[in-house]
Amino acid sequence: MTKKIENLTPGQIVAELDKYIIGQTEAKKNVAIALRNRWRRMNAPADIQQEIIPNNILMIGSTGVGKTEIARRLAKIAEAPFTKVEASKFTEVGYVGRDVESMVRDLVEQSINMVKSTKKEEVKLRAQEAVEDKILNILIPPVTQKNPDLLQDGKTESEINQETREAFREKLRKGDLDHRKIEIDIAQVSAAPIGVMGGPIDEVSMMNIQEMIGGMMPKNKKKRKVTIEEARKILLEEESAKLIDMDEVKEEAIWKAENLGIIFIDEIDKVASSGGKSGPDVSREGVQRDLLPIVEGSTVNTKHGSIKTDHILFIAAGAFHVSKPSDLIPELQGRFPIRVELESLTEANFLQILQTPKNALTKQYKAMLEAEDVTLAFHEDALKEMAAIAYQANTEMENIGARRLQTVMSLLLNDILFDVPERIAAGTSLEITRDMVKEKLGNLVKNKDLSQYIL
């Protein structure tokens, strides 16, 4: 378990989620409990640990109310592997869309990348030193034979060489030599298409064969002239890879995926059947039955090793406008014991979304224009007007939740973004007033068609 979660109570987890997501208290409370329960399971007596299964969650709510964002932010808080899949992408016959097990393989890949990034940080200093030495060896090769004769200032050739190398090392660290070009050797694997004779072969076996053959292929070295800045990045990857034990990475990543992993299954309502016995309903029920063993707990083979899904946290979500949760097969319903209905966003919620979150759209646009040295400010009544327009648009046509604000902001600020920096010079301060909002967006609300609002 990550140290971060050990120190976070359910209340603190909700407080973290509150920084990015407005409202949805009940949903936040349930995911916070689910996350804390993982730590509790890890610290339970060993003989019962394997018996404690996660309480998977089913979120019910319209698009844009925060279902995906809650799951994604939860994974970030937990420093846990996370993957999102859409249930509608799975098909029963022949897996024309995606193999249901692929979501577990995606989770393992995410976990591998997370662990590798952590390991790279641990060996970063050693790798940087090795890279510096490699670059210095190209710029100022070390003296191969020591000359015992004193050359100048009572120093030998070896001592002078070492002093020069250290002076250049200092310049390297300051970035003074970043634009100088050097020639480096880059490892390249001969890429050849791999064909397999015989009958059909599953995805995992094919990946294993490709990896094995790739490992056997000769790794050719290719000379390439690059700047020292580029060389540092390329060589740092190579040196970091040499210092990392991949077997250890795989072992830790699989443990992390099994015990901390979160899989978010979106559009689960699209595979709910309406009671028919033929056509699409049969296919939908087939997808549910394919999902069932993964969610219940099974072993999935990946190219990094086998992974058990028993303690992965599954969060499913859907709007359930046409179908209802009870249309899912009973076995699958039973694997999502916690059901949370997310609330539709109010006008007050829209105003909060524009002001409060750490990643609020207003803050994003301010940051983008700051890059052009242009200051952007929003009047309070302008924000209220934008919230009212977004809410009204959602009421009068399809409700797309908070995503409506992206359309409103884009239509409001597009002219400004186009005019900077040619017509609006650096150093300019801009203020968005209520009158500006009404002028830009007022007529669109009056138009019942509102076609320009559709994302």
Contacts of 263 (CB under 8 A, 6+ apart): 82, 83, 84, 85, 103, 104, 107, 312, 313, 314, 315
Query: Residue 62: is its pLDDT beyond 80?
Result: yes
Q: What is the CA radius of gyration of the chain?
A: 29
Span between the terminal Cα atoms of the chain, in Å: 40
Instruction: Give the least confident one: 163-177, 199-213, 351-365.
Output: 199-213
Q: How confident is the model at residue 214 (pLDDT cuts 50, 70, 90)?
A: low
Tell me the C-alpha to C-alpha distance, in Å, between residue 422 and each of 101, 366, 372, 417, 425.
52, 18, 11, 10, 6
Predicted confidence at residue 272, as pLDDT, reads 87
- Quote the CA–CA distance of 174 and 170 in Å, as a whole number: 6
Residue 81 has which token pair? 């592997």
- Quote the CA–CA distance of 216 and 211 in Å, as a whole number: 9
Predicted confidence at residue 209, as pLDDT, reads 60
pLDDT in tens, 6-47: 778 999 999 999 999 998 999 999 999 999 999 899 899 988
Residue 95 has which token pair? 């897996």
Residue 113 has which token pair? 């990348």
Predicted confidence at residue 94, as pLDDT, reads 47
Predicted confidence at residue 90, as pLDDT, reads 82
pLDDT in tens, 158-193: 777 888 888 888 888 888 888 888 888 887 655 455
- Quote the CA–CA distance of 406 and 156 in Å, as a whole number: 68
pLDDT in tens, 259-273: 999 999 999 999 887
Burial group, residue 422, by CB count within 10 angstroms (0-12, 13-18, 19+):
exposed
Residue 391 has which token pair? 């809410």
Predicted confidence at residue 174, as pLDDT, reads 87
CB-CB contact of 280 with 320 (8 Å): no
pLDDT in tens, 268-288: 999 887 665 555 666 788 889
Helix (H, G, I), strand (E, B) or coil at 96: coil
CB-CB contact of 196 with 209 (8 Å): yes
Beta bridge partners of 313: 262
**Percentage of the chain lying above the pLDDT 90 cut:** 54
Q: Where are the alpha helices (DSSP H) in 87-156?
A: 102-122, 124-139
Name the helix (H) or strand (E) containing 437: helix 434-446
Cα-to-chain-centroid distance, residue 448 = 38
